[in-house]
Chains A and B, each alone.
Chain A
């Protein structure tokens, strides 16, 4: 029950944060390339990697670890908008930008998880 509540609160906050961050970044960028969602997705991937490296699954209360990782960070980042934006780029005559957005985002996302995980592992006090 507590976990479900944490999921709902995290999901609410993550979706609102995504909308605010991506729209304000996109408005300022002055480009068709979806830099707002890109920044949101990559920052979320880094934070999730960092939490993974910090081993929060074992040290935080279960509801908090789930609420923050699956709830907040999961809802903050998005696959669907990434997919639809890429299709829009391709349909709008920018297939190269669409390919960069797809492959580049995914590659950068995995690398940032790795970076976050490595940093978290350094910061994490050794168990025992």
Chain B
């Protein structure tokens, strides 16, 4: 049996991931309602949330652990929770299947395939361009969850 403190930390982590997932899923569903897509047309809504989520997760993954302000659970909440809930692999696969065989299936599959590493890289590059986490500008990660990061040059 896990000691109570470890158990509590695990439950808190799951709750935070679930909450982020619920918000991300609602955002994905809202996008699908806002951009209705015909069964034979390009699935704009899913493609949009997938590429946006990949950019955000690429950026979150490039941040050093503990950099995000406020709380150490911010990273799993945004990454595993929100981005994971916002984006979807299963709906994308179903949409490709529904359009196959044909040019639209190939176009959608190819674009989703190429966009995945490109968007993750774009998020990563954005963090590097902003110099977030360079050693002279970043607060040490192990200073406790509540300590806010130092103000960086603006």
Contact = CB atoms under 8 A, between A and B. Distances in A.
Interface of A: 4, 7-16, 18-20, 41, 44-45, 47-49, 52, 66, 69-71, 73-84, 86-88, 90, 98, 102-103, 105-106, 109-110, 112-114, 117
Interface in B7-36: 14, 17-26, 28-29, 32
B116 A12 contact: no
B66 interface: no
B97 A49 contact: yes
B interface: dominant SS: helix
Contact of A110 (B23, B83, B100): B100
A110 B90 contact: no
A102 B117 contact: yes
B112 A78 contact: no
A83 B119 contact: yes
A103 B23 CA distance: 29
B92 interface: yes
Nearest to A73: B90
Contact of B50 (A18, A80, A102): A80
Contacts of A114: 97
Interface of B: 14, 17-26, 28-29, 32, 50, 53-54, 56-58, 61, 80-81, 83-94, 96-97, 100, 109, 112-113, 115-117, 119-121, 123-124
A80 B90 contact: no
Contacts, number: 182
28 contacts: A15-B24, A15-B80, A16-B21, A19-B80, A41-B89, A44-B90, A49-B97, A71-B25, A75-B22, A75-B24, A77-B89, A79-B50, A79-B54, A80-B54, A80-B58, A81-B84, A84-B57, A84-B61, A84-B123, A86-B117, A98-B117, A102-B113, A102-B117, A103-B113, A106-B109, A106-B113, A113-B93, A113-B97
B93 A110 contact: yes
Contacts of A8: 22, 25-26
Given A41-B90, A102-B117, A19 B14 contact: yes
Contacts of B32: 70
Contacts of B119: 83
A117 B97 contact: yes
A96 B128 CA distance: 25
B8 to A, nearest CB: 16
Contacts of B112: 79, 106
Given A74-B90, A80-B57, A102-B117, A7 B18 contact: no
B96 A87 contact: no
Nearest to A78: B84
